[in-house]
Amino acid sequence: MHRRTFIKNSCTACLSFTALSTLVSSCVTTKYISGRLGKDGLTIGKDEFNVKQKGGTAYSSFIIVRNDALLFPICVYRFNDSEYTALWMQCTHQGNELQASGDVLQCPAHGSEFNNKGRVIHGPAASGLRSFPVIATNNELFIDLRKQS
């Protein structure tokens, strides 16, 4: 195979793979819920993460709580049945609302990215996201809005 043909074929395969990956990831729907807002925080059901599949139940890695009483949504990431993070979806650079893309929260304004623990992956944001304690009980999660880190 000639060098030029090899490069052309490799680039075509790479672009096809990238396009397919984007298509597949865009097919995954993001779940939005409003939760129950109380005096001290938000309560959501653990079963909101459930995804029914043939042969059992899988779990979404995150859901977004969007409540009219809150200025920004909160992205809740599930790591296992007892470990969660609740992240305020406001960029720490200039305050834009973030978008969730799998385990990464992205800012459409200037490209900052944060991981599922709220830490900065890419700037220009210099500090991590506000996060709230999540208390897991048997069936519910309580997101304590009185405390943040």
- What is d(CA 133, CA 145) in angstroms, rounded to the nearest whole number? 8
Q: Beta 62-65 vs 32-33: how paired, if at all?
A: parallel
Per the CB < 8 A criterion, the answer to whether 132 and 41 are in contact is: yes
112 contributes a contact to ligand FES by CB under 6 A: yes
Among 124, 133, 136, 140, binds ligand FES (CB under 6 A): 124
Stretch binding ligand FES (CB under 6 A), from 12-20, 49-57, 104-112, 135-143: 104-112
Q: Could you say whether residue 66 binds ligand FES (CB under 6 A)? A: no
d(Cα 83, Cα 117) in Å, to the nearest integer?
11
- Does position 94 interact with ligand FES (CB under 6 A)? The reply is yes
Point out which span in 46-54, 66-74, 90-98, 137-145 binds ligand FES (CB under 6 A): 90-98
Q: For residues 38 and 111, which CB has a smaller minimum distance to ligand FES in the complex? A: 111
Which 3 state secondary structure label does DSSP give 45?
Answer: strand
Q: How far apart are CA 81 and CA 59, in angstroms?
A: 10
Site size with ligand FES, rule: CB under 6 A: 11
Does 42 interact with ligand FES (rule: CB under 6 A)?
A: no
Angle among Cα 9, 14, 19 to the nearest 5 degrees reads 125
Per CB under 6 A, the list member of 93, 99, 128, 136 interacting with ligand FES is 93
- Which CB sits closer to ligand FES, 60 or 101? 101
End-to-end CA distance of the chain: 57
> Per CB under 6 A, does 120 bind ligand FES?
no
Count other C-beta atoms under 10 Å from residue 98's C-beta.
26
What residues make contact with ligand FES under the rule CB under 6 A? 91, 93-94, 96, 107, 109-112, 124-125
